[in-house]
Amino acid sequence: MKISVITASFNRVDTIAQALASVQGQTWKQVEHIVIDGASTDGTLAVIEAQRDRLAALLSEPDNGIYDALNKGFALSSGDVVGLMHSDDFYADERVLERVALAFADPAVDGVYGDLDYVAKADPPRIIRRWRSGTYQRSRLAYGWMPPHPTLFLRRAVIERWGGFDTSFRIAADYDAMLRYLARGNIRLAYIPEVLVKMRVGGESNRSLSRILRKSREDYAALRRNEVGGLGTLVWKNLSKLGQFFG
């Protein structure tokens, strides 16, 4: 089973090397790593170029944001399974993709996800939040549940059937896509009850009040579009995050 891992980067010179090394260090070797860079100007591209021979594809050009870049990565990929490695993230250990491939050995499984730790940007060993997903039940979508997107791996057929990211969403295209796959596509998920990905805090969606408000508006639009819920679901979605800050 070939797993395609897609990384979108833009001016991440401080973190991109760890993201690349995290993929390269996996024990599962049937991996194609595709990097889409948005024409970085801070030295990021030089770091990536130094690893060029270990990448399946590298494209650097201006884009229309992270979701546009990830869609380009989907188009270039050829794996049976597709996952993401954001330029600020890294795998929890070297056997993550091995465990993902094992879960996909069941032909009834359309997608695989796990747990996620948010870590301090300047001190990655320090955990800030713990996202423990739990087993998927479709009814939980109405209460704002979703898998941690960086831990989600999908069969290629899911993306081909239901599409990639809708770039009209600037912040919540990942939420819209997951609702599309789960609610409208009714895909079958397998849960790995272990931390798969470490994510640095300080992402695009929560770096300012205006971004938080925009994300809430886009989350609501995604809920309505995919007929999952409305304002109540949005409230539950945000409240459910509070538990991630406690032990």
Q: What is the CATH number of the domain that holds 109?
A: 3.90.550.10
- The structural domain count of the chain equals 1
Residue 208 confidence (pLDDT) above 70: no
Range of the structural domain that residue 38 is part of: 3-245
Q: In sequence order, which residues have a C-beta less than 8 Å from that of residue 199 and are 6 or more positions away?
A: 86, 88, 89, 116, 117, 118, 119, 148, 150
pLDDT per position as a tens digit, 91-105: 999 999 999 999 999
Write b or e for each residue in 25-52: b if 16 or more Cβ atoms lie within 10 A of its Cβ, otherwise e: ebebeebbbbbbbbebeeebbebbeebe
Band of pLDDT at residue 38, cut at 50, 70 and 90? very high
Q: What is the pLDDT of residue 239?
A: 80
Residue 206 confidence (pLDDT) above 60: no
Q: What is the pLDDT of residue 217?
A: 94
Band of pLDDT at residue 241, cut at 50, 70 and 90? confident
Band of pLDDT at residue 207, cut at 50, 70 and 90? low
Determine the Cα–Cα distance for residues 242 and 235; give it in Å rounded to an integer. 12
User: In Å, what is the CA distance from 132 to each residue of 70, 171, 186, 196?
Assistant: 25, 22, 22, 11
